[in-house]
């Protein structure tokens, strides 16, 4: 209203003080009433807390009962006892759920309790029938084992028949071990052993053995496959133990919560009672004192305001009006020498006057800076855009659209930076995370742009677009130079190693010219060591050059991957899950199984490293249109440039520089050496984000019509200072129909050669006792028996043939360890 604006400040302050006094009296009265009601509220709180404590105690008691009852489920196998105990446990859980209703902290533990109890009962219910089947299979296998053991020890039977009975005894022993295994890894070992032993026995079976093998097969397939049945039994036990552990853990959490609730309630009650009593007494006294003080303050303030504050405020207001009108030379008379508000107002006026003068100077400076920014914004070589909080471009320079090869902007049309990029021919190659904060874009012509976004405090953004085509080309040339330098370094180190080997050979050859027989033998040993070192170095170079020695065998890819499942799950991070798709029919190829296992492990480890957090890896084996092994992950994927160079030697895309660049290169070399192909597909975005590596091998031709029984029996001499290999090779030749003479040393081998009137085969190890060489045994055998078949055994492939044996037409080498099939084919060839 108009007449209020004419009232003086003194009148207004006096009126305000009077109103303040009345409000203080009212607050005092209200405070006393509120404090009295607070005491009544504390009594109600006390009663509610007692109810909360009672519920917490009931919850703790029910949790203890559940923790006591749950382990009995694991110890009971009869179904009726299991059902009764399950009803008790479920009843306890229902009471816990009723007590925990409405409490958010207990929702998760109670839900986990129910899941754990369900898992426990689900795992235990089929155990009785499953254990009965396992016991029946075990009894049958023990009976069959005793029978074949008796027949294997019957000396009246032919040796060949007893060897097969001994093999059947090992087969039944493996089945018994599998049925009594206490761990999944132990069961897997017995399963692989049973399969291998059975496949080895099949070619040796005689009609007398077929009925026993049929009984063994029928016993293992009783009710279900023995190994699958035992696997489910062990898995059920692990599930039950896991469920019991979870039950104890969640019950402990519920009990801890109940104890904490009781403790908190008790502490809350005690503290509330003490504080309320003290506050009530103190508040009553304070309110009375404030009431008295308010009267004194009101009277004193009225006098102070009227004589001191109002007059000085009037002077300051007049001076401020003149200052606001632009009169920066306005001055105030000498103010009071005090630190109160009036004194501060006098000081603030002088500060305001100086600030007004500085503001005028600062305005001129800002105008100059804006002009400078405008020149930089228009003339910078990079494209610059300023985007509003909604992402639309508020301002941009001309170079932005020129770099994107787009026409100038239309008047009044606001677009987003992403929309401009989408309209251009540029597509993203790397994200900001992959490229140190920059997004990299390229067009079909090879032009490369870097796009960076910088947020501003008010939510707006500054976008910077730079041309990096020439820099990328220089980086590619530098990368090529680095790869050439790496190859040069490898070549230099290899040359250094070969130089050392040649120096050792040259020095020992000079010493050999003047050495006696004993020293010459020692020098021969050193020369062979140097040559073996050269052979080893050559093999490593061949592996690097994708020409390593392979030992292809008929291999079931599905069975090989299934056997590696546990190893692959350990090799990848815990956050990555493994999924296997393996057909029931065998997928047979002819490859080196050891190299194939190494390739699969290498690819799965790389896939696990490409997944930053949670993810999965899928291993799929198919036999349609040839054998295919695919490994797919949902990791970060590879850009087209990285994908194109992924199999190059020494190329690595790891940011930390830890990669050697040989992993995929070696896998690619192995696949091509095995007659197959490697294909790579990868995406960095979209629902199919990730990488798929597919190994394709030619399908195995049916060789069932070929006969391996081409060996013509004869007389053979086996020379090896290793008792295990000596016994293995001799037993294999005996099974092939040879009459075998054994020699466990070089001297014994020479003696056997000179004693025998006729030999059809001489099989000798390369490195014999006391530094002797198997080549000497073969030279002596060739001189005594020119038509004899000569075979040299060694742990590595060798091509160094002595001059005396160059003319030998029936000379061959055999790499250790060897199989019966390898030896059969070697001695059968002419």
**What's the mean pLDDT in 50-79?**
60
The verdict on residue 314 lying in a domain is: no
The verdict on residue 704 lying in a domain is: no
Phi and psi dihedrals of 432, rounded to 5?
Answer: -65, -35
Residue where a domain stops, chosen among 418, 440, 467 = 467
Question: What CATH number does the domain containing 534 carry?
Answer: 1.10.287
Phi and psi dihedrals of 440, rounded to 5?
Answer: -105, 130
What is the CB neighbour count within 10 angstroms for residue 518? 8
Quick one: tokens of 748? 């014994």
Task: Confirm if 721 and 745 have CB atoms less than 8 A apart.
Answer: yes
Q: What is the pLDDT of residue 625?
A: 67
Helix (H) or strand (E) holding 260: helix 226-304
Task: Confirm if 180 and 234 have CB atoms less than 8 A apart.
Answer: no
Q: What is the pLDDT of residue 743?
A: 92
Nearest to 563 by CA among 140, 199, 189: 189
DSSP structure string for 752-809: HHHH-S--SEEEEESB-GGG-BHHHHHHHHHHH-TTSEEEEEESS------GGGTT-S
Do both 674 and 756 map to the same domain?
A: no
Do both 195 and 245 map to the same domain?
A: no
Do both 581 and 599 map to the same domain?
A: yes
Q: What is the pLDDT of residue 206?
A: 81
The verdict on residue 668 lying in a domain is: yes
**What's the mean pLDDT in 370-398?**
80
Q: What sections of 180-225 are H helices per DSSP? A: 184-201, 207-220
Do both 11 and 44 map to the same domain?
A: yes
The verdict on residue 306 lying in a domain is: no
pLDDT digits (tens, 9 = 90+) for 549-589: 567 778 888 888 888 888 788 878 888 888 999 888 888 88
User: Is pLDDT above 60 for 78?
Assistant: no
Do both 508 and 455 map to the same domain?
A: no
The residue that leads in pLDDT, 700 or 442, is: 442
* ∠ CA 270-274-275, rounded to 5°: 115
Cα separation, 26 vs 11, whole angstroms: 23
Q: What is the pLDDT of residue 703?
A: 38
Tell me the pLDDT of the chain averaged across its residues: 75
Domain count, the chain: 7
Q: What is the pLDDT of residue 4?
A: 47
**What's the mean pLDDT in 752-762?**
90
165: left (phi over 0), alpha (psi -120 to 50) or beta: alpha
Q: In sequence order, which residues have a C-beta less than 8 Å from that of residue 120 and are 6 or more positions away?
A: 70, 73, 74, 239, 240, 243, 244, 247
User: Is pLDDT above 60 for 368?
Assistant: yes
What is the CB neighbour count within 10 angstroms for residue 23? 11
The residue that leads in pLDDT, 490 or 252, is: 252
Q: What is the pLDDT of residue 7?
A: 57
Residue where a domain stops, chosen among 544, 578, 593 = 544
The residue that leads in pLDDT, 494 or 234, is: 234
Q: pTM for the complete prediction?
A: 0.29
User: Is pLDDT above 80 for 514?
Assistant: no
Q: Are strands 553-556 and 588-591 parallel, antiparallel or unpaired?
A: antiparallel
Task: Confirm if 633 and 572 have CB atoms less than 8 A apart.
Answer: no
How distant, in Å, are the alpha carbons of 196, 599, 698, 809 from that of 557?
15, 12, 12, 38
Do both 692 and 587 map to the same domain?
A: yes
Task: Identify the burial level of 186 via C-beta atoms within 10 angstroms of its C-beta, where 0-12 means exposed, 13-18 middle and 19 or more buried.
Answer: middle
User: Is pLDDT above 60 for 830?
Assistant: no
The verdict on residue 705 lying in a domain is: no
Do both 455 and 396 map to the same domain?
A: yes
Cα separation, 717 vs 41, whole angstroms: 106
The verdict on residue 256 lying in a domain is: yes
Four-residue CA torsion sign, 321, 324, 329, 334: positive
Do both 680 and 790 map to the same domain?
A: no
Do both 686 and 559 map to the same domain?
A: yes
Q: In sequence order, which residues have a C-beta less than 8 Å from that of residue 43 and are 6 or more positions away?
A: none
Q: In sequence order, which residues have a C-beta less than 8 Å from that of residue 601 and are 6 or more positions away?
A: 564, 567, 568, 571
Q: What is the pLDDT of residue 718?
A: 93
Q: With cut-offs at 50, 70 and 90, classify the pLDDT of residue 542.
A: low
Task: Confirm if 770 and 747 have CB atoms less than 8 A apart.
Answer: no
Q: What is the pLDDT of residue 72?
A: 52
Cα separation, 646 vs 602, whole angstroms: 14
Residues of 226-240 as b/e, b for ≥16 C-beta within 10 angstroms? bbebbbebbebeeeb
The residue that leads in pLDDT, 691 or 298, is: 691
The residue that leads in pLDDT, 459 or 287, is: 459
Four-residue CA torsion sign, 771, 777, 783, 787: negative
The verdict on residue 307 lying in a domain is: no
Task: Confirm if 100 and 257 have CB atoms less than 8 A apart.
Answer: no
Cα separation, 561 vs 633, whole angstroms: 16
**What's the mean pLDDT in 123-138?**
72
**What's the mean pLDDT in 156-161?**
84
Q: With cut-offs at 50, 70 and 90, classify the pLDDT of residue 719.
A: very high
Do both 538 and 478 map to the same domain?
A: yes
Q: With cut-offs at 50, 70 and 90, classify the pLDDT of residue 35.
A: low
Do both 583 and 688 map to the same domain?
A: yes
Please state which of the ranges 139-153, 286-300, 615-629, 764-778 shows the lowest mean pLDDT: 286-300
Cα separation, 397 vs 381, whole angstroms: 10
Q: With cut-offs at 50, 70 and 90, classify the pLDDT of residue 741.
A: very high
Q: What is the pLDDT of residue 487?
A: 62
Specify the 3-state DSSP secondary structure of 722: coil
pLDDT digits (tens, 9 = 90+) for 309-346: 777 777 777 777 777 776 767 777 766 666 666 777 77
pLDDT digits (tens, 9 = 90+) for 601-610: 888 888 888 8
Nearest to 130 by CA among 243, 244, 222, 215: 222
pLDDT digits (tens, 9 = 90+) for 166-186: 888 888 888 888 878 887 788
DSSP structure string for 563-595: HTHHHHHHHS-TTEEEEEE--SS--EEEE-HHH
Helix (H) or strand (E) holding 448: strand 448-455
Do both 232 and 244 map to the same domain?
A: no
**What's the mean pLDDT in 52-71?**
64
The residue that leads in pLDDT, 405 or 301, is: 405
User: Is pLDDT above 70 for 721?
Assistant: yes
Residues forming a β-bridge with 693:
631, 680
Q: What is the pLDDT of residue 73?
A: 56
Q: In sequence order, which residues have a C-beta less than 8 Å from that of residue 219 and are 6 or more positions away?
A: 137, 140, 141, 144, 175, 226
The residue that leads in pLDDT, 634 or 515, is: 634
Q: Are strands 739-743 and 427-430 parallel, antiparallel or unpaired?
A: unpaired
Q: What is the pLDDT of residue 742?
A: 92
User: Is pLDDT above 50 for 640?
Assistant: yes
Q: Which residue range forms the structural domain that includes residue 481?
A: 473-544
**What's the mean pLDDT in 47-74?**
62
The residue that leads in pLDDT, 811 or 808, is: 811
The verdict on residue 565 lying in a domain is: yes
* ∠ CA 747-750-751, rounded to 5°: 85
Q: With cut-offs at 50, 70 and 90, classify the pLDDT of residue 76.
A: very low
Task: Confirm if 768 and 776 have CB atoms less than 8 A apart.
Answer: no
Q: What is the pLDDT of residue 620?
A: 92
Q: What is the pLDDT of residue 717?
A: 93
The residue that leads in pLDDT, 84 or 423, is: 423
Residues of 198-209 as b/e, b for ≥16 C-beta within 10 angstroms? beebeeeeeeeb
């Amino acid at each position: 209203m108009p007449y209020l604006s004419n009232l003086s400040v003194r009148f207004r302050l006096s009126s305000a003080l009077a109103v303040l006094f009345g409000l203080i009296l009212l607050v005092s009265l209200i405070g006393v009433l509120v404090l009295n009601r607070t005491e009544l509220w504390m009594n109600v709180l006390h009663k509610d807390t007692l109810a909360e404590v009672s519920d917490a105690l009931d919850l703790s008691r029910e949790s203890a009962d559940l923790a006591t009852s749950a382990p009995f489920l694991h110890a009971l196998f009869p179904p009726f006892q299991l059902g009764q105990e399950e009803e008790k446990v479920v009843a306890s859980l229902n009471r816990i759920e009723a007590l925990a209703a409405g409490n958010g902290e207990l929702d998760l533990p109670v839900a986990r309790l129910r899941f754990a109890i369900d898992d426990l009962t689900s795992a235990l219910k089929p155990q009785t029938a499953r254990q009965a089947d396992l016991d029946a299979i075990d009894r049958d296998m023990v009976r069959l084992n005793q029978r074949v053991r008796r027949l294997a020890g019957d000396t009246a039977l032919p040796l060949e028949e007893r060897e097969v009975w001994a093999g059947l005894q090992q087969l039944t022993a493996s089945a018994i071990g599998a049925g009594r295994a206490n761990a999944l890894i132990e069961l897997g070992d017995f399963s692989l052993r049973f399969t291998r032993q059975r496949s080895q026995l099949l070619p040796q079976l005689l009609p007398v053995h077929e009925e026993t093998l049929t009984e063994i097969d029928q016993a293992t397939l009783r009710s279900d496959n023995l190994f699958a049945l035992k696997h489910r039994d062990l898995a059920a036990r692990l599930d039950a133990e896991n469920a019991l552990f979870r039950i104890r853990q969640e019950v402990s959490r519920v009990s801890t919560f109940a104890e904490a609730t009781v403790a908190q309630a008790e502490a809350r009650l005690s503290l509330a009672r003490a504080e309320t009593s003290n506050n009530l007494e103190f508040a009553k006294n304070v309110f009375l004192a404030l009431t008295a003080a308010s009267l004194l303050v009101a009277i004193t303030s009225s006098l102070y305001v009227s004589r001191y504050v109002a007059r000085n405020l009037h002077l300051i207001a007049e001076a401020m009006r003149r200052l606001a009108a632009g009169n920066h030379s306005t001055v105030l008379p000498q103010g009071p020498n005090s630190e109160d508000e009036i004194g501060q107002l006098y000081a603030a006026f002088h500060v305001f006057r100086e600030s007004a003068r500085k503001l005028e100077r600062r305005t001129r400076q800002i105008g100059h800076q804006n002009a400078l920014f405008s020149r930089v914004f228009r003339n910078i070589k990079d494209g610059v855009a300023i985007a509003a909080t909604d992402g639309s471009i508020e301002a941009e320079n001309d170079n932005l659209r020129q770099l994107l090869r787009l026409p100038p902007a239309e008047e009044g049309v606001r677009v987003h930076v992403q929309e401009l990029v989408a309209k251009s021919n540029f597509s993203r190659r790397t994200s900001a995370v992959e490229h140190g904060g920059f997004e990299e874009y390229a067009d079909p012509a090879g032009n490369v742009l870097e796009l960076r976004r910088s947020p501003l405090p008010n939510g707006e953004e500054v976008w910077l677009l730079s041309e990096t085509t020439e820099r990328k080309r220089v980086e590619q040339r530098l990368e090529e130079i680095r790869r050439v330098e790496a190859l040069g370094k490898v070549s230099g180190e290899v040359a250094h190693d070969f130089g050392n080997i040649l120096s050792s050979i040259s020095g020992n050859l000079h010493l050999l010219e003047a050495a006696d027989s004993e020293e010459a033998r020692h020098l021969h040993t050193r020369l062979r060591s140097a040559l073996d070192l050269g052979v080893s170095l050559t093999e490593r170079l061949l592996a690097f050059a994708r020409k390593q020695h392979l030992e292809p065998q008929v291999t079931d890819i599905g069975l090989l991957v299934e056997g590696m499942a546990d190893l692959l799950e350990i090799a990848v991070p815990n956050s990555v899950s493994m999924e296997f798709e393996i057909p029931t029919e065998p997928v047979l190829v002819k490859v080196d199984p050891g190299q194939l296992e190494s390739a699969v492990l290498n690819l799965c480890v790389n896939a696990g490293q490409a997944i930053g957090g949670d993810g999965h890896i899928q291993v799929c084996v198919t036999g349609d249109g040839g054998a295919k092994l695919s490994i797919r992950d949902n990791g970060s994927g590879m850009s087209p440039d990285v994908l194109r160079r992924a199999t190059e030697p020494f190329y690595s895309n790891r940011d930390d520089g830890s990669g050697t660049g040989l992993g995929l290169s070696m896998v690619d070399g192995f696949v091509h050496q095995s007659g197959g192909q490697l294909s790579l597909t990868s995406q960095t975005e979209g629902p199919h984000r990730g990488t798929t590596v597919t190994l394709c091998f030619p399908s195995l031709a049916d060789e069932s019509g070929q006969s391996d029984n081409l060996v013509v029996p004869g007389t053979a001499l086996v020379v090896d200072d290793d008792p295990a290999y000596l016994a293995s090779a001799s037993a294999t030749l005996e099974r092939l129909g040879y009459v075998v003479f054994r020699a466990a040393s070089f001297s014994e081998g020479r003696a056997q050669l000179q004693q025998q009137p006729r030999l059809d085969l001489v099989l000798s190890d390369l490195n014999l006792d006391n530094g002797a060489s198997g080549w000497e045994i073969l030279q002596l055998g060739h001189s005594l028996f020119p038509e004899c078949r000569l075979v040299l055994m060694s742990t590595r492939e060798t091509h160094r043939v002595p001059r005396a044996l160059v003319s030998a037409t029936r000379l061959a080498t055999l790499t250790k360890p060897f199989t019966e099939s390898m030896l059969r084919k070697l001695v059968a060839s002419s």
